[in-house]
A and B are shown apart, each in its own frame.
Chain A
Amino acid sequence: MSDERALPLPNPGPRPAGEVEELRRIWAAPKGLRFLTVINNNYIGVLYVGAAFLFFVLAGILALMMRTQLAVAENDLVGPTLYNRLFTMHGTVMMFLFAVPVVEAMGVLLLPNMLGARDLPFPRLSAYAFWAYFIGGTVFFASLFVGWAPAGGWFMNPPLTTEYFSPGFNEDFWLLGIGFIEISAIAGAIEIIVGVLRTRAPGMTLARMPLFAWAMLVFAVMIILAFPAVILATALLELERAFHWPFFTAEAGGDPLLWQHLFWFFGHPEVYVIFLPAAGMVSMIVPTMAGQPLAAQRLVILALVATAFLSFGLWVHHMFATGIPGISLAFFEAASMAVAIPSGIQVFAWIATFARGRVRLAVPTLFVLGFLFIFVLGGLTGVMVAAIPFDWQAHDTYFVVAHLHYVLIGGMVFPLFAAFYYWMPYTSRFPLSERVGRWVFGLLFAGANLTFFPMHVLGLAGMPRRVYTYQSGLGWDAINLASTAGAFVIAAGVLLFLVDVARRFRMSAEDNAGDVWGAGTLEWLPGGNYSNRSIPVVTGRYPLWEQPGLAKDVEEGRYYLPNAPTGTRETILTSPLEATPQVLMRMPVPGWAPQVAAFFTAAFFMLLTVKLVWLAAACGLVAVGALLHWGWSLDPPPLPDAVDIGGGIRLPAYASGPTSQAWWAMAILMLTAASLYACAIFSYLYLWLVAPGTWPDASALPRSSYPVVSAVLLVASSAAFGSANGSLARGATPAPAIAAAIVLALAGFGTEFASHLAVDPRASAYGAVVHLFVLLGGFFVAVAVVLAAFAMARRLAGKLDRVRRVTFDNARIFWHYVVAQSLVGLLLLHGFPRLAAP
């Protein structure tokens, strides 16, 4: 792989004095109160990991409360109401506020350095995602202290969670709080996809990309495809709770199982969303600790991608007991068994790598070995519960609790601790203590097995999940007591870890402890807040092992971009497959807009939860204002000259169209939107399937002239936007054509809106789902109109012309997408009932 090793260095000569100082100044984190505006990935990454770990500890404390309650039979320490809230919050916080954010955070922290970039492509978006999550998550957790915490279980099944059975704000906190935190996860995923595909060091082809970057790419794509399902589900349940639109009420043609389908279409991939990045971390740690390249790297990449796509065919295995036809269950049973195979490939690759090399038994290695043991056990019980007859027996018992904790603690928590120990010297002045670390590992390993292994037995002995107490004499007493003891052993391990972190962790980019392991990948290059002094050319999978002198050459500025030629933050945009340099991308500097936007977005959703609608609306307006202010500073003026980055390569310092990072982000956002819309179409068809009786016959539908007029207006608006594009390319003003497009689109949407006025969304599931489409259509048209108006304003301000046109292009592709999506909606709402009418 390292056949190009003899390449000449791009900048062989000595560098002028003061370059490093300038890089240091440009990339410095703000001081004092302004530190809150920091956007550098190393700071946001550490804050993000820290916040996620805080939620891990908080949710762990809830678990200790539950285990204390269950230690003895007929205990009255915690009553049933609080117990319901405890298990709901424990699961919800662990999944949504710890597991997903912490792996995203590790991506933000590690990816730029691992890829050889100066930062992720949208640093303010990371900051926004972090602050929105941290503020929203904290308020969500605090709901516990005022008796408003949700109590419907972490998957919130209706009808229990409908307003009739769960009045009050409690479930709304889950729906609005979690729904909104998922939006922040999507923002992070967009950042990661564009970062991994477009900011890799020159020469780092897909085959040479580190496995953690592969895992994060797969992770982010899964978020884009899976999370819209839960966002839609929470929206539907909130619409039912707040406005009585009966999506889940059987009497009105709804179906509670629709929730389960949408939730688990997100919820099962979610497990792999958590596991795959952890597997990626393990694939980085194992080669270093074995002093060997990872065995079968290509097969491991294949396994990552295969696990990801098969995991989208597993969701019904959470619904084996709901009465779905047996043959349908069989598809999911088969897929559930099949997904064990790619996981097995990875496990064997890690074992083979260890077997080949001389293994260094440091703390990260111990955690990896612990991971292998616990995760494989969880995988085996997974194959057991994938068998339908066994699942029917074990369903809703402690066996399932044991299984899922083995998978998640083994598959995610242990790799994460391995990663904490492994990457601590990357971000801290001192590594963590090896001696203390062995104790932490011992306590966590013994504690996890002592807590959860007995639960298998407990489940087989018939103890159901989610009961706040149990009778003595059922053979459960001693097992429960052992399990509780184990939980406190885990807590001791976590506490010891925190003490060690407090003693040894001193965040530093400049004088970090550095490459204490002798690792092979780029994040171990010496660097600072600017990441690497110069951006290396990569010729293999383990550059630090294969390219002698690389660290010194990078630090002396002998590779690409050893300085800041445009005087601001910059990184190199490279092509997605071969990583050929394409553009010198100028990057934003710290400012208050992302933090203000994040605070008021969180305030909007949280105030909405407690029905303070006007205050919420005011906060929402401030958030939109901050976002627009932020957007105004995007698309900086083009620079006339190409910039020399060394090695005879001159890059343009401005890009629009498909080479620009903005185009990629917009394309991924449209994919997210398409996934959301597809889930809505699924909901429509599903409700029709279960209750066709609520669907009107053709005579009761809106006259067919409505959709025809609406479609013509929408297509005309797209044509108008196309003509705006033509004007801009000729150097003329696009504003009149954009204005015409806006009027046409609003008229098109208005026609569709008017056509359904006679249908009452509260009367039937049909009415509810029709109005859902009207609502979605209105939302997308509104966003498109704001983007278009924004482009017009940029034109008026002289910030939009035939060259500088990124904001216009983004509005344009989104516009055409929205029109296409609306046409699909018209076909469904007006065409399908005519087709399906008896």
Chain B
Amino acid sequence: MGSGLHALRIAAGIVLWAVHFALVYGSTAFACARGAAAAVPWIIGSATVVAALLAAAIAAVEWRRREAFESWLASGLAAVAFFAIVFEGVPVLFLAPCA
């Protein structure tokens, strides 16, 4: 169904953000509760880099088709997701894990 595919494309950035958010939050809670603090920066760091690159790629691909409103929206949402992912991942550079 065409509309289902469109909905998925519009939501791609959002889904990526949600997966990243759940992953960094869930894995940090798990690692801190089970005494694996050392792993936290690596998990968050790699998840953030991968998710941010994917979000940027979605934004770029959709931007090329931006005459269509749905693609413009998909691109914009992926761009917002990119900034949110980076913004939420940055604290790992400054804070001690599990403190």
- In the complex, are the beta carbons of B77 and A325 less than 8 A apart? no
- In the complex, are the beta carbons of A302 and B87 less than 8 A apart? no
Q: A206-B69, A658-B1, A689-B33 are in contact. Are A327 and B91 (CB under 8 A)?
A: yes
A480 to B98, CA, bound (A): 41
CB of A449 closer than 8 Å to a CB of B: no
Q: Which residues of B lie under 8 Å from residue A206 when comparing CB positions? A: 69-70, 73
Q: Which residues of B lie under 8 Å from residue A331 when comparing CB positions? A: 21, 24-25, 28, 88, 91
- In the complex, are the beta carbons of A334 and B83 less than 8 A apart? no
A658 to B5, CA, bound (A): 14
- In the complex, are the beta carbons of A338 and B87 less than 8 A apart? yes
A333 to B80, CA, bound (A): 17
Q: Mark out the residues of chain B between 21 and 74 whose CB falls within 8 Å of any chain A CB in the assembled complex.
A: 21, 24-26, 28-30, 32-33, 40, 44, 69-70, 72-73
Q: Which residues of A lie under 8 Å from residue B73 when comparing CB positions? A: 206, 298, 301-302, 305
- In the complex, are the beta carbons of A576 and B3 less than 8 A apart? yes
Q: Which residues of A lie under 8 Å from residue B24 when comparing CB positions? A: 331
Q: Which residues of B lie under 8 Å from residue A342 when comparing CB positions? A: 80
Please tell me which one of the listed residues B21, B30, B32, B96 contacts residue A313 in the complex, with CB atoms under 8 A apart: B21
Q: Which residues of B lie under 8 Å from residue A326 when comparing CB positions? A: 95-96, 98-99
Q: A309-B17, A342-B80 are in contact. Are A335 and B88 (CB under 8 A)?
A: yes
- In the complex, are the beta carbons of A205 and B92 less than 8 A apart? no
> What is the CB-to-nearest-CB distance from B92 to chain A, in angstroms, rounded to a whole number?
7
Could you give, for residues 300-333 of chain A, a 1 whenever the CB lies within 8 Å of some chain B CB and a 0 otherwise? 0110011001101100000000001111101101
> What is the CB-to-nearest-CB distance from A578 to chain B, in angstroms, rounded to a whole number?
9
What secondary structure prevails in chain A residues at the interface with B? helix
A306 to B81, CA, bound (A): 8
A463 to B18, CA, bound (A): 38
> What is the CB-to-nearest-CB distance from A386 to chain B, in angstroms, rounded to a whole number?
12
- In the complex, are the beta carbons of B83 and A327 less than 8 A apart? no
- In the complex, are the beta carbons of A305 and B70 less than 8 A apart? no
Q: Which residues of A lie under 8 Å from residue B76 when comparing CB positions? A: 298-299, 302, 306
- In the complex, are the beta carbons of B25 and A328 less than 8 A apart? yes
- Beta-carbon nearest neighbor of B81 in chain A: A309
A179 to B62, CA, bound (A): 41
Q: Mark out the residues of chain A between 552 and 604 whose CB falls within 8 Å of any chain B CB in the assembled complex.
A: 575-577
- Beta-carbon nearest neighbor of B3 in chain A: A576
Q: A338-B84, A658-B1 are in contact. Are A325 and B69 (CB under 8 A)?
A: no
CB of A827 closer than 8 Å to a CB of B: no
CB of A837 closer than 8 Å to a CB of B: no
Q: Which residues of A lie under 8 Å from residue B29 when comparing CB positions? A: 324-325, 328, 689
A576 to B10, CA, bound (A): 13
Q: Which residues of B lie under 8 Å from residue A207 when comparing CB positions? A: 69
- Beta-carbon nearest neighbor of A313 in chain B: B21
Q: A207-B69, A326-B95, A326-B96 are in contact. Are A302 and B77 (CB under 8 A)?
A: yes
Q: Which residues of A lie under 8 Å from residue B87 when comparing CB positions? A: 334-335, 337-338
Q: Which residues of B lie under 8 Å from residue A309 when comparing CB positions? A: 14, 17-18, 77, 81
- In the complex, are the beta carbons of A305 and B77 less than 8 A apart? yes
Please tell me which one of the listed residues B17, B80, B99 contacts residue A325 in the complex, with CB atoms under 8 A apart: B99
A338 to B44, CA, bound (A): 19
Q: A338-B84, A576-B3 are in contact. Are A328 and B18 (CB under 8 A)?
A: no
Q: Which residues of B lie under 8 Å from residue A325 when comparing CB positions? A: 28-29, 32, 97-99
CB of B8 closer than 8 Å to a CB of A: no
- Beta-carbon nearest neighbor of B10 in chain A: A305
Q: Which residues of A lie under 8 Å from residue B84 when comparing CB positions? A: 310, 313, 334-335, 338
Q: Which residues of A lie under 8 Å from residue B18 when comparing CB positions? A: 309, 312
A658 to B2, CA, bound (A): 11
A154 to B40, CA, bound (A): 35
A689 to B79, CA, bound (A): 34
Q: Which residues of B lie under 8 Å from residue A330 when comparing CB positions? A: 88, 91, 95
Q: Which residues of A lie under 8 Å from residue B40 when comparing CB positions? A: 327
- Beta-carbon nearest neighbor of B91 in chain A: A330
A658 to B81, CA, bound (A): 30
Q: Which residues of A lie under 8 Å from residue B97 when comparing CB positions? A: 325, 327
Q: Which residues of A lie under 8 Å from residue B1 when comparing CB positions? A: 658
CB of A478 closer than 8 Å to a CB of B: no
- In the complex, are the beta carbons of B6 and A577 less than 8 A apart? yes
Which of A207, A313, A328, A342 gathers the greatest number of chain B CB atoms within 10 Å? A328
- Beta-carbon nearest neighbor of B17 in chain A: A309
Q: Mark out the residues of chain A between 673 and 714 whose CB falls within 8 Å of any chain B CB in the assembled complex.
A: 685, 689-690
Q: Which residues of B lie under 8 Å from residue A328 when comparing CB positions? A: 25, 28-29, 32
Q: A325-B98, A575-B3, A577-B3 are in contact. Are A334 and B69 (CB under 8 A)?
A: no
Q: A327-B40, A577-B6 are in contact. Are A298 and B21 (CB under 8 A)?
A: no
Q: A302-B77, A327-B97 are in contact. Are A334 and B88 (CB under 8 A)?
A: yes
A205 to B17, CA, bound (A): 27
- In the complex, are the beta carbons of B95 and A306 less than 8 A apart? no
> What is the CB-to-nearest-CB distance from B54 to chain A, in angstroms, rounded to a whole number?
16
A335 to B96, CA, bound (A): 19
- In the complex, are the beta carbons of B80 and A334 less than 8 A apart? no
- Beta-carbon nearest neighbor of B14 in chain A: A309
- In the complex, are the beta carbons of B69 and A689 less than 8 A apart? no
A334 to B92, CA, bound (A): 12
Q: Which residues of A lie under 8 Å from residue B90 when comparing CB positions? A: 334
Q: Which residues of B lie under 8 Å from residue A205 when comparing CB positions? A: 69
> What is the CB-to-nearest-CB distance from B88 to chain A, in angstroms, rounded to a whole number?
5
Q: Which residues of A lie under 8 Å from residue B99 when comparing CB positions? A: 325-327
A298 to B79, CA, bound (A): 14
Q: A207-B69, A312-B18 are in contact. Are A327 and B88 (CB under 8 A)?
A: no
Q: Which residues of B lie under 8 Å from residue A333 when comparing CB positions? A: 91
> What is the CB-to-nearest-CB distance from B24 to chain A, in angstroms, rounded to a whole number?
6
- Beta-carbon nearest neighbor of A575 in chain B: B3
- In the complex, are the beta carbons of A298 and B95 less than 8 A apart? no
Q: Which residues of B lie under 8 Å from residue A310 when comparing CB positions? A: 17, 80, 84
> What is the CB-to-nearest-CB distance from B35 to chain A, in angstroms, rounded to a whole number?
12
- In the complex, are the beta carbons of A690 and B69 less than 8 A apart? no
> What is the CB-to-nearest-CB distance from A274 to chain B, in angstroms, rounded to a whole number?
21
- Beta-carbon nearest neighbor of B99 in chain A: A326
Q: Which residues of B lie under 8 Å from residue A327 when comparing CB positions? A: 28, 40, 44, 91-92, 95-99
Q: Mark out the residues of chain A between 582 and 633 whose CB falls within 8 Å of any chain B CB in the assembled complex.
A: none
- In the complex, are the beta carbons of A577 and B80 less than 8 A apart? no
Q: Which residues of A lie under 8 Å from residue B33 when comparing CB positions? A: 689-690
A756 to B4, CA, bound (A): 39
Q: Which residues of B lie under 8 Å from residue A576 when comparing CB positions? A: 3
Which of A299, A301, A310, A337 gathers the greatest number of chain B CB atoms within 10 Å? A310
Which of A205, A207, A305 gathers the greatest number of chain B CB atoms within 10 Å? A305
Q: Which residues of A lie under 8 Å from residue B91 when comparing CB positions? A: 327, 330-331, 333-334
- In the complex, are the beta carbons of A302 and B80 less than 8 A apart? yes
A689 to B26, CA, bound (A): 10
> What is the CB-to-nearest-CB distance from B25 to chain A, in angstroms, rounded to a whole number?
6
Q: List 11 A-B contacts (CB under 8 A).
A: A302-B77, A306-B77, A325-B28, A325-B98, A327-B97, A328-B25, A328-B32, A330-B91, A331-B24, A338-B87, A685-B26
Given A302-B76, A330-B91, A342-B80: 7 more A-B contacts, CB < 8 Å:
A325-B29, A327-B40, A327-B44, A328-B32, A331-B25, A689-B30, A690-B33
Question: Would you list the 7 A-B pairs with minimal beta carbon distance, nearest first?
Answer: A330-B91, A207-B69, A302-B76, A306-B80, A576-B3, A334-B88, A309-B14
